[in-house]
Structure 1
């Protein structure tokens, strides 16, 4: 039987797709997984930023690639994941890191801004998950990881939109975990309790260890990443 290119590639190197790729948490995750032999595919809207990130990863010896997509536009995500599967393989790991945050107290928050943020923060995560779940189910293995925030647990008035979205994302992660465990698919969320900044407790490379732990079989669905 003749193998497709994606099947042949998958036999040799696992693939991680990181949606909402930027210089913070996702860059740390890319370095971590890439350093363990993953092909890293970064997805975001801005091609210039993606190319810079890919260049940095390749200098570190990581097999990295860029695919443009807008987390708020389903059609671009569908196209992007079809490209990933065609050129590399169906992802073994999905990391959803895209985020939007309208700063406003809830009484002043326009419903269209809330819906726009929710589309990026939660609906986009669902769309990406649905695009990778079928192949993960066929293989009987896979991992979905989401970047959460402490606003889901401790809401702040001026960040009402993000608080609502992060609560929604957290519940999406837990319900997917419940549904997909029998299929062999691991689902987890890293709830980050502070401002991401290099050289601090919230250094992206330190945070990336939480994603690696969830991928490597931690029985937790959520890691609360905060000082003891």
Structure 2
């Protein structure tokens, strides 16, 4: 076990799993968090599994306190939790916008609030959230998703201003399209040929939390695939 601890939220999904494996390979003691217990069980041996629904605002604080007590203070938090829905602007409903915002932006805020007090005591930490290209570039047919990811992107920039003076770096990656089993169910193969893989995304995230990226904070890195 390493004394460097990384928490990966959403580790039961393809991106979170790839990030957890990559950080474990980089020498971190990794704790994977997800409400999807079946997905967590697919993690390799050596990566700790902690079931919990981080999209519930009341849950992240207890999850982080348990991790600190049982494993140690996290050096790194990577949040890969997100949801997606199609829908153009004139057809959007309050429930759709609320769900997208709660999951895509709210979860990032609640996880950050839960981990920062522990990082602040040590004076260092690295946080990465997963945004999307649609947060900054207009795309038709995904208005609620785009708005929620735009909120997440702005949150990352605000967190950078507030937390960088305390030694805590906050960044985001912004993929256009990720090659996942779910996306393969409804997107054409020629489109997915240009998507970024979870492993490639994990490589970028691993760099952002590494010492080599120490000067980088407040960045939202576009990852458009091939």
Pairwise same-fold verdict (TM > 0.5): yes
Q: 1:176 deviation in Å?
A: 0.7
Tell me what 1:92 maps to.
75
The runs of 5 or more residues in structure 2 that have no matched partner are 182-192
Distance of 1:146 and 1:154 partners within structure 2 = 18
Structure 1 segments of 4 or more deviating over 4 A?
197-201
Q: 1:227 to 1:103 in 2, by over 3 A?
A: closer
Q: 1:203 deviation in Å?
A: 1.9
Question: Could you tell me which of 182, 185, 209 is aligned with 2:168?
Answer: 185
Tell me what 1:51 maps to.
41
- Are 2:8 and 1:14 aligned? no
- The question of whether the paired residues in 2 share the 8 Å contact of 1:16 and 1:92 is answered with yes
Tell me what 1:214 maps to.
208
Q: Partner of 2:49: helix, strand, or coil?
A: strand
Distance of 2:76 and 2:11 partners within structure 1 = 14
Q: 1:30 to 1:223 in 2, by over 3 A?
A: same
The superposition leaves residues 11-63 of structure 1 with CA deviations (integer Å, 9 ceiling, x where unpaired) of: x521111112234221221111100111111111121221122xxx21xxxx3
- Are 2:23 and 1:36 aligned? no
- Are 2:103 and 1:103 aligned? no
- The question of whether the paired residues in 1 share the 8 Å contact of 2:175 and 2:222 is answered with yes
- Are 2:198 and 1:204 aligned? yes
The superposition leaves residues 157-178 of structure 1 with CA deviations (integer Å, 9 ceiling, x where unpaired) of: 3211110011111111111112
Q: 1:186 to 1:205 in 2, by over 3 A?
A: same
Distance of 2:39 and 2:22 partners within structure 1 = 19
Question: Could you tell me which of 61, 79, 88 is aligned with 1:78?
Answer: 61
Tell me what 1:147 maps to.
130
- The question of whether the paired residues in 2 share the 8 Å contact of 1:13 and 1:37 is answered with no
- Are 2:151 and 1:168 aligned? yes
The superposition leaves residues 79-118 of structure 1 with CA deviations (integer Å, 9 ceiling, x where unpaired) of: 2222211211121111111112232112111112211221
Q: 1:151 to 1:47 in 2, by over 3 A?
A: same
The superposition leaves residues 117-162 of structure 1 with CA deviations (integer Å, 9 ceiling, x where unpaired) of: 2111111111110111111111111011001111112232321111
Tell me what 2:177 maps to.
194
Tell me what 1:226 maps to.
224
The alignment's TM-score, normalised by the length of structure 2, stands at 0.86
Q: 1:197 deviation in Å?
A: 4.8
Q: CA RMSD in A?
A: 2.0
